Amino acid sequence: MHQALIRGLVQARRVATRRNAIAALVALPVAFVAERSGAQGLMERLWDDVTGRGGSAAPPPAQPSAPAATPAPATPHPAAPPPPAPVTPAQATPQPPSIPVVTPRTQSVGETMTLTGNAAAVNTVNLVARVVGYLQQIHFEDGAIVRRGDLLFTIQQDQYQAQLRQAEAQLQLQRAALTHATTEVSRYSALVRRNAATQVEVDNWVYQRAAAEANIMNAQAQVDLAKLTLSYTEVRAPFDGQMGRHLIDVGNLVGSSPQNANLAEILQLDPIYVEVNIAASQAQQVRANLDQRRMTLQDLQRVPIEVQLQNETGFPHRGLLNYVAPQVDAQTGTLFVRGLLQNPNRTLLPGLFVNVRIPMGRTLQSALLVPQRALQEDQGGRFLLIVDQNNTVQKRYVQLGPVVGAWQVATSGVTASDRIVVGDLWRASPGLRVTPQTTTLPQ
């Protein structure tokens, strides 16, 4: 029983010692100011008490009630003052970004409509063989630019040269017959006056002379036909234009059937047509703007048009109206309109889709123009970024009208005093305070 009591006391001493060690560990950061050797020994003893490695030996007999593992408190050094906190500079108040702005322009602008149409060649000709023969030579490269009268194809000529010589021989024969008949008429007319010949013989040679004159005319016509036929063996360019690809190779028989008659295609690209179809309602609006005044052909051909390719900005190509159909197509409800413009660099090609801007015969007085570079678009439509009186960016949807160079008429959504953001659009967002910088744009 005494042994059990002793074991209980030892176990209680171990528990108390471990609790004191844990408390010492918690206070260690504050009290760890002793000498390095003493601190190291203290840590070893505390670690032994916590892990229980020192509990395997029998407890010392002296002072059983005092915790042997508790070290004497070491005299701490004076607590060092904490390092001063780093001084961070006060954050300066950010300045609003500078944004370039302009005010709308005011001027009179002619109202226009923009339509989608096609470019078309002024002349498109299929070059065909008009005589039968073997194709002897091609005098151009596919796609080449040619001038009017340039030789393009040569067809076998031997047969037609022979026919020409034959016709010329017949002409010479008839001329000889005329000379003989004329001589005989003179001779027999003299003999009749001396009663040496009858009048019948004179009349016969007069007939022979007239027949020879007629035969000469016929022979001359045969010569002309032979020359014309021979000229068909040389196919020449009917106008300045651009060649397509050749359709028949050298050595093939041409002209014997419609299938082998087509030799190539040539197109005239300068000038060039642009063709559009105007809705009947728009055509009526134009007539109303003109007060129902009918334009003459000369007036019509002085109306300017502007043309833009699908990948171009602005309308860099300019020309004049050339033709307006006299009636509306009943099937499509549209009116055919054609313009003519110069195309020296062949920028426009037949078949290309183009945008054509045509005046509607009315002028908008004091229209407000905004720069096209400032226009943006989202699901709500076209809009501008406006800087209000508080220098805050606002989003403003606008309705647009005709385009004038780099500017466009805004029929609603802006006023003459609005400041429109024209630069750094990626920085300007609705609700942002900015510093507006008034700038100027090309007129």
- Domain boundary (232, 266, 300) is at 266
Give yes or no: residues 278 and 239 share one domain.
Answer: no
pLDDT at 8: 54
For 217-241, write each residue's pLDDT tens digit: 999 999 999 999 999 999 999 999 9
- Domain boundary (266, 300, 315) is at 266
CATH code of the domain in which 217 resides: 2.40.50.100
Give yes or no: residues 252 and 277 share one domain.
Answer: no
In a domain, 74, yes or no: no
Residue 176 has pLDDT above 90, yes or no: yes
pLDDT at 47: 54
Model confidence band, residue 348 (pLDDT cutoffs 50, 70, 90): very high
Give yes or no: residues 258 and 372 share one domain.
Answer: no
Q: Which residues pair with residue 377 across a beta bridge?
A: 382
In a domain, 94, yes or no: no
Cα-flanking dihedrals φ and ψ of residue 15, to 5°? -65, -45
Per-residue burial over 315-333, b if 16 or more Cβ lie within 10 Å, else e, is bebebebbebeeebeeeee
Give yes or no: residues 258 and 299 share one domain.
Answer: no
Instruction: Reply yes or no: is the peptide bond before residue 271 cis, omega within 30 of 0.
Output: yes
What CA–CA distance (Å, rounded) separates 104 from 107? 10
Average pLDDT over residues 112-125: 91
Give yes or no: residues 278 and 190 share one domain.
Answer: no
C-alpha distances in Å from residue 397, one per residue of 100, 146, 378, 384, 391: 20, 53, 10, 6, 19
For 383-405, write each residue's pLDDT tens digit: 999 999 999 999 999 998 877 77
In a domain, 85, yes or no: no
Give the contacts of 248 (CB within 8 A, at least 6 positions apart): 135, 254, 260, 262, 263
* DSSP per-residue string spanning 323-342: EE-SS-BTTTTEEEEEEEE-
What CA–CA distance (Å, rounded) separates 168 from 285? 67
Give yes or no: residues 313 and 428 share one domain.
Answer: yes
Model confidence band, residue 35 (pLDDT cutoffs 50, 70, 90): very low
* Average pLDDT score, the chain: 81
In a domain, 387, yes or no: yes
CATH code of the domain in which 290 resides: 2.40.30.170
Domain that residue 193 falls in: 126-266
For 366-375, write each residue's pLDDT tens digit: 888 999 889 9
Q: Which pair of tokens denotes residue 16?
A: 């108390």
Give yes or no: residues 224 and 287 share one domain.
Answer: no
Give yes or no: residues 389 and 364 share one domain.
Answer: yes
- Domain boundary (204, 235, 266) is at 266
The neighbour count for residue 116, using CB atoms within 10 Å, is 11
In a domain, 62, yes or no: no
Average pLDDT over residues 178-195: 90
Choose among 129, 86, 359, 395: nearest CA to 250. 129
Choose among 35, 31, 134, 21: nearest CA to 68. 21
In a domain, 258, yes or no: yes
Q: Which residues pair with residue 442 across a beta bridge?
A: none
- Which run of H or of E encompasses 120? strand 105-128
Give yes or no: residues 111 and 48 share one domain.
Answer: no
Give yes or no: residues 315 and 416 share one domain.
Answer: yes
Number of domains in the chain: 3
Please answer whether residues 101 and 439 qualify as being in contact, where contact means their C-beta atoms are separated by less than 8 angstroms.
yes
In a domain, 70, yes or no: no
In a domain, 337, yes or no: yes
Please answer whether residues 337 and 358 qualify as being in contact, where contact means their C-beta atoms are separated by less than 8 angstroms.
yes
Which 8-state DSSP code applies to residue 65? Answer: T
Model confidence band, residue 285 (pLDDT cutoffs 50, 70, 90): confident
Give yes or no: residues 274 and 397 share one domain.
Answer: yes
pLDDT at 81: 56
Give yes or no: residues 274 and 330 share one domain.
Answer: yes
